[in-house]
Amino acid sequence: MKNIDSLEPKKPTPPQINSRVGLPDFRPQANTPELSLLKPSLAPKKRHRVFKTLFVTILLAILILGGLVVSKAMNLSDKIFVGQKYSFLQKIQFAIRGTFGGTTLVGEDLGQINILLLGIGGEGHDGPYLTDTMIVAQIRPDIGEATLTSLPRDYLVELPNNLGYRKINAAFAEGYNLHKDYNEAGQWATQTTEKVTGLKLPYFAVIDFTGFEKAIDLLGGVDVNVDRTFTDAQFPDSGIGYLPPITFKQGPAHLDGKTALEFARSRHGNNGEGSDFARSLRQQKVISAFKTKAFSLNLITDSGKINSLLNTFADHFHTNINPGEIFRLYSLMKEKNIQKFLSSSLDEETGLICPKIMEGTGAWVLVACPGKTESDIQNYFKNSFTVGRLKEEGSVVWLGTSTGDKTEYNQVFKTLKGAGLTVWEVGYSQGPLTENLVYQVNPKPATTEFIKNELHAVEVTTPPPGIKIDKDKVDLVVLLGQKN
């Protein structure tokens, strides 16, 4: 039996002084029973392991539950994002990086991002993989502008794999038929288009008619401005016949998916809307309207809309742009406020390409015009922003010669027409000029700058003598002088 004195509480040991800092050392002592009883619940290492285990458990639960929710979307995305295969976690990482600026698009460091946009008929249509639409999109975030330049589907090119010369719209189709793979088909189309444009095209996106309709309906339709009233009495139906005549009236129009497709595809419209040039501009209008509507809805924050788009696009839309790059492109266009989409088209009006009947087959194709080279056509795409601005201004030019040199006049006439300008001849009889002159009747800065650079013209601020000017009929007057 212990002495009662031995049961008295021990006097607490004075705290030791920590010689390094001159403060009492309150670290637990090994012989302190009260503190030793608390070790199982409060020891730092134990607490750290408990919290770590709890955190990991919660994280795994989130991933598992999240995976069950979005697994369908991820499976659908495998059909949409073609090319290199990405895991579930990689797709999440891509999306996070794209949203928060951790992803850089190819060409972004050089100031221009290029994407080839393709439209195909899809299953149930004749030539389901022939590209009915081919548009080169060039985006310049630094100036807040983008251009959409259409290529004619009948342009003659040399296909990969020594398949010989075919129309350019066959490139995607032949690639798909050979490999049964959308990424391979897209690579065939981009490689072929790169030779024509001289541009590096790291990205492509392709959509078929059904996906086009459904996507627009999902957004609630798009709004476009119809430039002039036209009727198409030969629009194909889903079989081998035609729909009743379809008409679009001049002015603002709200289009659902079906009417937007008819507006974009119509190729037999009257009133100047039956050309491939007019058709390509209408396609670009719809693309621009789709972009505007998507941005106004702020889709990036609407998971329900995104999932619906994935469901819509899964079998109808394919691209080699990965999810993170999609987010980055969306964020970049919002951040830089890229609102202006300039339009142009490589067509016969440029004076660069001309029709030709192929010997043997009798096929109608488009080729470089006599005297024009591959470099001339590539320069058209490299100057697409200038060309787009000229078309946007839509200037009417009165062109005259002070020397009577019709050869020089005709060459300049073709140059201005090829740039998309409306050109009329005007007489001038005040004697030879020593240089080319341009007078701006109405403010047309892009057109004036183009003429000054292209013709080495000097801008004057007073109207040329002897010419009666009507500002409602002309925007610029150009007079050709003697060659130096």
Could you state, in order of their start, the residue ranges of all structural domains in the chain?
97-371, 394-480
Q: If you compute the radius of gyration of the chain from its CA atoms, what whole number of angstroms results?
A: 34
Contact 129, 176 (CB under 8 A): yes
Q: What DSSP designation does 109 have? A: G
**Range list of H helices, 116-249:** 170-179, 182-197, 209-218
What's this model's pTM, rounded to 2 decimal places?
0.77
- pLDDT in the model for residue 103: 82
Residue 330 CB neighbours (<10 A): 18
**Range list of H helices, 298-340:** 303-313, 323-335
Fold match, 97-371 / 394-480: no
Question: At what angle are helices 209-218 and 303-313 packed, to 10 degrees?
Answer: 160
Q: What would be the CATH architecture of the domain defined by 97-371?
A: 3-Layer(aba) Sandwich (3.40)
Place of tokens 């996507």: 215
Contact 166, 125 (CB under 8 A): no
| Class for the domain spanning 394-480 | alpha beta
Read off the pLDDT of residues 75-86 as tens digits, 9 standing for 90 and up. Answer: 667 788 888 776
Residue 409 CB neighbours (<10 A): 16
- pLDDT in the model for residue 49: 52
SS3 for 92? helix
The DSSP code sequence of 387-437 is HHHHHHHT-EEEEEESS--HHHHHHHHHHHHHTT-EEEE----S---SS-E
Mean pLDDT by 10 residues, the chain (484 residues): 38 41 37 39 48 45 42 66 73 64 87 95 86 94 92 94 93 95 96 97 94 90 94 83 91 95 92 85 89 77 68 85 84 84 89 91 93 94 93 94 94 90 94 95 96 95 93 96 80
